[in-house]
């Protein structure tokens, strides 16, 4: 039998359960054939057998979000146990009719990272929250103390190996059973996972010795010393040692006497935890078909990556999930050019009239491929690959119009030119600060233009004469100039530039910004070519037939017909002056180098958020993105889909701009400039480049139409695709990790060690896990794999009422209705809407006319109701029964977060007598920036300020936040009838204290480090996450799984590189214990308030000046003459 990839094992007696191929399986513990317990084919995890071995509970995504299900081991249907909208299995408590399943969920919390433990009757019923505080795992057994694993950053131990930051697992235990938990094994100094009670020992996984292995400590801590002592510590596995598996031990679990775990997709059993115990591998064979490894067909319109039209606009080279095809646009077939399992093609496009050009990795590295469109035609050349292993990661590929050369922009900043005939590759240029972009040829194929990143944050437009590789600067490196393109007649070079400086005043704070500053510019290439927008001594000709070489372009076509067929017009122009879009030798593009930068002129259109500049016949094209809020707060109210780009056409003859497609995702121009292939989501259309109006073509339109993509058929071989994805992820990391030596990790060796496991994986979710573990070998933050195997029906998530409820007679009683935050549209509260009139003490009886289950509550009846109008039947406290209509939430986290912030702010105000302000910053992206400014002016006007970045999930705005917090009051603006204002505005008036914890990560680490480094005040809390090697998330694999490469490593002038994998140490450490959480105490915030008030005693807040101290301007008495 072939190897399988087995995960999440658990055992009871002679029975083993585990997950594989997106299902739960069972097998004899002695080994042999395994059988499926589920047939959902969705990602599943953490199956746990009941104490009597008759039932199994597990986590499944069959309803979209993770929920917990339970079934009898000997068969029967699965029952959904949780309706949290996110939960996972931990284990069982009790037995028989009293058996409960222990699960974790962040439902009802203000942060998704704060998962609490709940016990739920196995037969179904109301969850009972356990007073452990936020935890990542729990180990309990009758008559023995509870052992908790403090909340981690939800990263598996093997996904960031040798992690030592603030969220490293922390063990807590309650030896007396009083609810007073204490830290356990605090001196261990490594990552901890999977706590277990095994006999008279506490077992767990740890990698404090560099490899993930099973360890244990004696349960009798009196004989072993203090709680944090490591006396009696035993290691029971030797993963990483010679002769032992060279992979982490993972997902350990126990039946109370034995431990079973996974390593590299294989299962191992420890029969005991003695000093000489040794694991043995379990020989398990999966029975039944391996469904997810079987080939399957895909829907072309969903997986189309690109459609690049040929010269005539009659066909395109289409790229579909790594395959390449020639697709006629209408009344014709599709022809496959490349569909090789395990090979991914990218950047496919036409090359001349009879060939195609693309990049693929058939030889294990990116290579430039030249292939005939019809390999069976007489004299057709064979497909050939050039420069494999010499081009790195190709980012852009451009084919010369005459098919003689191809230009290549690579990940390491090189601009290469490939001679198609000889295969010779030469380096033309290299970017000094990153990648060359916007590569484009002149119509005569003699010149190449590109954007050159010559200085940090700046780029210039360059052109190169390919005959002798002469480089010419078109614009100086002063601005950001990008997207250069030659006009179709070869007379001009156009580009987009970020050089419009027309600021807009901010409405919320005193600030100015440049939200839309791109503008197109044009450069006449010949010294005597006039600007299309200029003047001439003889005026502008009326028809193109009257144009001289130094004339302005005529305002009308030669025949005076504005609706001339573009194909006929092109033919007429060819008869008169040769083909404009592909000049002959005597129509070569003329470039007068002297004075070229001085000939740059703006195109007279409004600036905006422009991208994707292109050239077609007599026009330029670009995409214009509307200026809109990042968070989409307004769209939340209106229900709009959101702003989409539009395609604008600037007519160089009429000097007029029109929107010709709305909305649009992307577009490509045919070689002759007469046709466009325009994409809007999964719809692809052929449009005329001279069209007017933005409406979609009608079914009867002969010139413009929708392309039928169903003629392309693609079958995916998952096993071959997974091997290709593994290798590509490895190359991307090799080429982009922030240091070339991979921080001393033998990356090639790691790839070789993990590669055989690809043939064992049985589903996409397995592959994602394998890639996570592979990238975890780098010991780096931000090495992510995003995009699992998908889930089931996401409508299975219940709608939420924004309230807390408890069981009551005949229904469920409302104990609290969360108030809405009107400044955050997602923080609405359905039961607080006007006219609903439902509040604490009211009892919910029915949902949509169906009685509320007395055990399960309303959640099962609210499934699929998010953002829908739903009728509730409510009995008021006075006995009145009312029917009300509400619109449930799909997520109440924004509402609960705002309620949490308000509670913290109220606490600070009350504890300080109104002297201290409070600000919480949840992240360092747009949502955190909005939250900071929501109360910035009010809170900074207090005598002191508590800045809370606990739970800050990072981003990129830390320097903006620090600029605000670091302001110092150096003056006052005193005005009559108003309160004095600080200069600068919103500057803190007194002492600052920051709060940070283990969940302050990434840019949350950086803002904490900056706060300390600038001496703004003390930091209170716990050590932060410790992940400051940033990413840009630019790369996707062939099935659109995103893989990130840590590229931007942060260095501080006081602690150097030491924030990564360590975190920022607080000035005053305050740990919130499980009992603090259970009691609702926040000792970190209490300490911050005390420190701020103490600081005010020694350093009072600044006060505005007394106007009585002003100088007198009274007119003096005139003294007598001397």
Neighbours of 398 (CB within 10 A): 21
* β-bridge partners, 390: none
CA-derived radius of gyration, the chain: 34
- Core vs surface per residue 250-288: b (16+ CB within 10 A) or e: bbbbbbeebbbbbbbbbbbbbeebeeebebeebebebee
The torsion defined by the Cα of 116, 121, 124 and 130, in degrees rounded to 10, comes to -20
In sequence order, what are the residues at sequence separation of 6 or more whose Cβ sits closer than 8 angstroms to the Cβ of residue 243?
Answer: none
Q: How far is it, in rounded angstroms, from Cα 608 to Cα 780?
A: 38
Map residue 965 onto helix, strand or coil: helix
* β-bridge partners, 523: 493
> If we measure between CA atoms, which residue out of 324, 313, 315 comes closest to residue 347?
324
Strands 32-36 and 284-286 turn out to be: parallel
Map residue 475 onto helix, strand or coil: coil
Contact predicate 817/839, CB 8 Å: yes
Q: Which backbone phi and psi does 767 adopt, to 5 degrees? A: -60, -40
Neighbours of 881 (CB within 10 A): 11
Length of the chain in residues, anyone? 1122
Angle, helix 747-754 to helix 764-776, in steps of 10 degrees: 150
Contact predicate 306/327, CB 8 Å: no
Q: How far is it, in rounded angstroms, from Cα 325 to Cα 334?
A: 7
Contact predicate 445/486, CB 8 Å: no
The token pair that represents 907 in the structure block:
């606490």
Between the alpha carbon of residue 688 and those of residues 35, 613, 676, 808, the distances in Å are: 59, 17, 6, 67
Q: Which 8-state DSSP code applies to residue 231?
A: T
Burial class (CB in 10 A: 0-12, 13-18, 19+), 752: exposed
* β-bridge partners, 684: 679
Catalytic residues: 782, 1002, 1060
Question: What are all long-range contacts of 793-797, with beta carbons under 8 Å and residues at least 24 apart?
Answer: 793/62, 793/63, 793/64, 794/63, 794/64, 794/65, 795/64, 795/863, 795/864, 796/62, 796/63, 796/64, 796/65, 796/67, 796/863, 796/864, 797/63, 797/64, 797/65, 797/85, 797/863, 797/864, 797/866, 797/890
The token pair that represents 226 in the structure block:
């203090």
* CA 57, 43, 26, 758 torsion-angle sign: negative
Q: How far is it, in rounded angstroms, from Cα 138 to Cα 117?
A: 8
The DSSP annotation for 33-72 comes to EEEES----S-EEEEEE-TTSSEEEEEE-TTSS-EEEEEE
Between the alpha carbon of residue 1028 and those of residues 153, 951, 1064, the distances in Å are: 14, 15, 11
Neighbours of 1055 (CB within 10 A): 14
């Amino acid at each position: 039998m072939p190897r399988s990839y087995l995960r999440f094992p658990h055992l009871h007696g002679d029975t083993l359960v585990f997950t594989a191929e997106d299902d739960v399986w069972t097998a004899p513990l002695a080994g042999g054939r395994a059988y499926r317990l589920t047939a959902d084919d969705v990602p599943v995890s953490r199956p746990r057998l009941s104490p009597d071995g008759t039932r199994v509970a597990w986590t499944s995504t069959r309803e979209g979000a993770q929920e917990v299900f339970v079934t009898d081991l000997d068969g029967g249907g699965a029952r959904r146990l949780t309706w949290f909208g996110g939960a996972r299995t931990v284990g069982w408590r009790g037995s028989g009719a009293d058996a409960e399943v222990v699960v974790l969920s962040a439902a009802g919390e203000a942060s998704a990272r704060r998962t609490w433990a709940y016990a739920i009757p196995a037969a179904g019923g109301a969850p009972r929250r356990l007073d452990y505080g936020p935890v990542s795992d729990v180990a309990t057994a009758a008559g023995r103390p509870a052992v908790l694993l403090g909340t981690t950053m939800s990263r598996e131990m093997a996904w960031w190996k040798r992690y030592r930051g603030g969220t490293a697992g922390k063990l807590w235990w309650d030896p007396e059973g009083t609810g007073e938990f204490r830290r356990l094994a605090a001196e261990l100094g490594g990552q901890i996972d999977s706590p277990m009670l095994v006999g008279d020992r506490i077992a767990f996984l740890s990698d404090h010795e560099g490899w993930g292995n099973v360890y244990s400590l004696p349960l009798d801590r009196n004989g072993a010393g203090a709680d944090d002592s490591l006396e009696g510590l035993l290691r029971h596995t030797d993963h990483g040692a010679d002769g032992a598996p060279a992979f982490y031990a993972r997902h350990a679990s126990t039946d109370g006497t034995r431990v079973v775990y996974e390593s590299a997709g294989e299962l191992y059993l420890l029969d005991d935890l003695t000093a000489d115990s040794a694991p043995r591998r379990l020989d398990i064979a999966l029975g039944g078909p391996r469904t997810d490894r079987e080939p399957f067909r895909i829907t072309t319109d969903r997986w189309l990556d690109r459609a690049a039209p040929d010269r005539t606009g009659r066909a395109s080279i289409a790229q579909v999930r790594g395959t390449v095809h020639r697709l006629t646009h209408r009344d014709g077939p599709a022809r496959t050019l490349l569909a090789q399992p395990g090979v991914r093609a990218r950047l496919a496009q036409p090359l001349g009239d009879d060939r195609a050009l693309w990049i693929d990795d058939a030889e294990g590295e990116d290579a430039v491929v030249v292939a005939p469109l019809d390999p069976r035609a007489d004299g057709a050349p064979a497909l050939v690959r050039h420069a494999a292993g010499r081009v790195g990661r190709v980012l852009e590929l451009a084919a010369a119009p005459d098919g003689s050369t191809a230009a290549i922009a690579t990940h390491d900043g090189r601009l290469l030119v490939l001679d198609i005939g000889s295969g010779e590759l030469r380096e033309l240029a290299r970017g000094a600060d990153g990648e060359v972009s916007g590569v484009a040829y002149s119509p005569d194929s003699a010149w190449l233009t590109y954007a050159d990143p010559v200085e940090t944050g700046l780029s210039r437009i360059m052109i190169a004469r390919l005959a002798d590789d002469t480089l010419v600067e078109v614009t100086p490196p002063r601005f950001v100039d990008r997207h250069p393109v030659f006009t179709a007649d070869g007379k001009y070079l156009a580009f987009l530039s970020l050089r419009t400086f027309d600021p807009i005043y901010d409405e919320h704070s005193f600030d100015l910004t440049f939200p839309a500053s791109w503008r197109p510019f044009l450069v006449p290439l010949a010294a005597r070519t006039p600007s299309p927008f200029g003047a001439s001594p003889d005026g502008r000709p009326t028809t193109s037939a009257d144009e001289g070489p130094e004339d302005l372009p005529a305002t009308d076509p030669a025949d005076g017909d504005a609706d001339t067929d573009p194909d006929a017009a092109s033919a007429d122009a060819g008869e008169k002056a040769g083909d404009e879009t592909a000049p002959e030798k005597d129509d070569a593009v003329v470039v007068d180098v002297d004075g070229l930068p001085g000939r740059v002129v703006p195109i007279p259109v409004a600036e905006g958020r422009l991208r994707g500049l292109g050239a077609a016949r007599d026009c330029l094209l670009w995409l214009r993105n509307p200026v809109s809020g990042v968070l989409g707060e307004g769209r939340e109210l209106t229900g709009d889909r959101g702003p989409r780009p539009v395609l604008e056409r600037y007519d160089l003859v009429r000097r007029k701009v029109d929107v010709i497609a709305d909305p649009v995702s992307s577009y490509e121009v045919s070689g002759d400039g007469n046709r466009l292939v325009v994409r809007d989501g999964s719809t692809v259309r052929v449009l005329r480049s001279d069209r007017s109006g933005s409406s979609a073509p009608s079914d009867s339109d002969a010139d413009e139409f929708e392309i039928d993509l169903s003629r392309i058929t693609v079958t995916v071989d998952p096993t071959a695709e997974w091997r290709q994805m593994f290798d590509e992820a490895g190359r991307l990391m090799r080429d982009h990790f922030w240091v070339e030596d991979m921080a001393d990790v033998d990356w090639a060796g790691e790839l070789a060690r993990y590669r055989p496991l690809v043939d064992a994986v049985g589903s996409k979710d397995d592959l994602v896990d394998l890639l996570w573990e592979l990238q975890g070998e780098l010991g780096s933050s931000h090495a992510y794999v995003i995009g699992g195997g998908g889930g089931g029906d996401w409508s299975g998530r219940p709608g939420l009422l924004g309230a807390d409820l408890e069981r009551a007679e005949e229904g469920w009683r409302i104990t609290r209705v969360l108030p809405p935050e009107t400044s955050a549209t997602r923080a609405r509260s359905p039961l607080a809407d006007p006219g609903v009139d439902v509040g604490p003490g009211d009892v919910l009886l029915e949902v949509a006319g169906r009685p509320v289950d007395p055990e399960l509550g309303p959640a099962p009846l609210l499934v699929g109701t998010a953002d829908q109008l739903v009728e509730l039947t409510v009995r008021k406290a006075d006995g009145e029964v009312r029917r009300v209509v509400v619109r449930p939430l799909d997520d109440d986290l924004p509402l609960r977060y705002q309620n949490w912030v308000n509670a913290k702010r109220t606490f600070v105000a009350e504890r300080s007598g109104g002297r201290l302000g409070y600000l919480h910053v949840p992240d360092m992206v747009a949502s955190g920036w909005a939250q900071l400014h929501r109360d910035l002016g009010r809170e900074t006007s207090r005598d002191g300020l508590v800045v809370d970045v606990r739970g800050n999930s990072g981003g990129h705005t830390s320097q903006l936040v620090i600029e605000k917090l670091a302001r110092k009051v150096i003056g006052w603006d005193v005005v009559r009838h108003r309160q004095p204002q600080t200069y600068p505005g919103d500057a803190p008036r007194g002492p600052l204290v920051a709060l940070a914890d283990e969940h302050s990560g990434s840019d949350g680490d950086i803002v904490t480090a900056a706060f300390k480094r600038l001496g703004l005040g003390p930091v209170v809390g716990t050590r932060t996450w410790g992940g400051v090697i940033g990413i840009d998330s630019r790369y996707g694999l062939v099935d659109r799984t995103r893989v990130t490469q840590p590229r931007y490593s942060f260095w501080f002038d006081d602690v150097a590189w030491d924030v990564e994998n360590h975190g920022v140490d607080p000035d005053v450490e305050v740990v919130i214990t499980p009992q603090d959480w259970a009691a609702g105490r926040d000792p970190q915030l209490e300490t911050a308030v005390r420190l701020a008030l103490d600081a005010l005693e020694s350093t009072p807040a600044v006060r505005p000046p007394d106007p009585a101290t002003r100088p007198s301007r009274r007119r003096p008495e005139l003294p007598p003459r001397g």
